Amino acid sequence: MNFIRTTIPDVVIVEPTVHGDHRGYFVETFRADKLEELLGYKINFCQDNESKSSKGVLRGLHYQLPPHAQTKLVRVIQGSVLDVAVDIRRNSPTFGQHVSVELSADNKKQLLVPRGFAHGFVVLEDDTVFAYKVDNYYSPQCDRGIAFDDKDLNINWQLEHGELKLSEKDTKQPKLFNIEDNKEIFEAGINYYE
């Protein structure tokens, strides 16, 4: 298993080792000990989620406020997505910057999206199955989002605007710098893992 820190070092690409032959393949998709050694803190994933989507579906950018903030380990089982993590920690030197990585069933890459980041993805192939682990349960009261097309974020979603399929909720999210209650945005340097 190979771990690659991105341009925002807290966001990590995970490249599992694939053992394959004429019969198929075997891959270890998660190792808590190796991930915790890299990160320097414990990960206690408590729930696995899965979605199936058609090409053009865009889900995001979503996050949860503390105390229900979530770390996510995301991957694609079938098809492909462009996966995006946006740093929303107000005092972070990379606040408002993002990382985007193509995740697919073929490349088997995963992305670790820590607490303090908004997350979203756009589906690049029909019948894409997206799966992820979270380290905190969903809380409707703490559920928040940021506009996927916020010009200040400058995210290239790889598809034309007319090709995108969004939920009503995701068409009405605020821009990052227009969020009314700035206290809702994470503060860098807080240990969210205690």
The predicted pLDDT at position 91 comes to 85
pLDDT surpassing 50 at residue 71: yes
pLDDT tens, 154-168? 999 999 999 999 999
Catalytic annotation, residues: 62, 132
Identify the residue with better confidence: 135 or 91.
Answer: 135
pLDDT bucket at 186, cuts 50 / 70 / 90: low
Rounded to whole angstroms, the Cα distance separating 58 from 164 reads 6
CATH of the domain at 64: 2.60.120.10
Q: How many domains does the chain have?
A: 1
The predicted pLDDT at position 150 comes to 96
pLDDT tens, 97-122? 999 999 999 999 999 999 999 999 99
Task: Give me Rg for the CA atoms of the chain.
Answer: 16
pLDDT tens, 53-66? 999 999 999 999 98
Residue labelled with tokens 């079938």: 78
User: What pTM was estimated for this model as a whole?
Assistant: 0.91
Q: Is residue 30 part of a domain?
A: no
Identify the residue with better confidence: 193 or 151.
Answer: 151
pLDDT tens, 122-132? 999 999 999 99
Q: Is residue 17 part of a domain?
A: no
Domain span holding position 141: 43-184
pLDDT surpassing 60 at residue 189: no
Q: Is residue 115 part of a domain?
A: yes
Q: Is residue 104 part of a domain?
A: yes
Rounded to whole angstroms, the Cα distance separating 53 from 50 reads 10
pLDDT bucket at 192, cuts 50 / 70 / 90: very low
Q: How many C-beta atoms surround the C-beta of residue 100 within 10 A?
A: 18
Closest residue by Cα to residue 71 from 125, 7, 14, 16: 14
3-state secondary structure the chain: CEEEECCCCCCEEEECCEEEECCEEEECCCCHHHHHHHHCCCCCCCEEEEEEECCCEEEEEEEECCCCCCCEEEEEEECEEEEEEEECCCCCCCCCCEEEEEEECCCCCEEEECCCEEEEEEECCCCEEEEEEECCCCCHHHEEECCCCCCCCCCCCCCCHHHCECCCHHHCCCCHHHCCCHHHCCCCCCCCCC
pLDDT bucket at 193, cuts 50 / 70 / 90: very low
Question: For all residues of the chain together, what is the average pLDDT?
Answer: 91
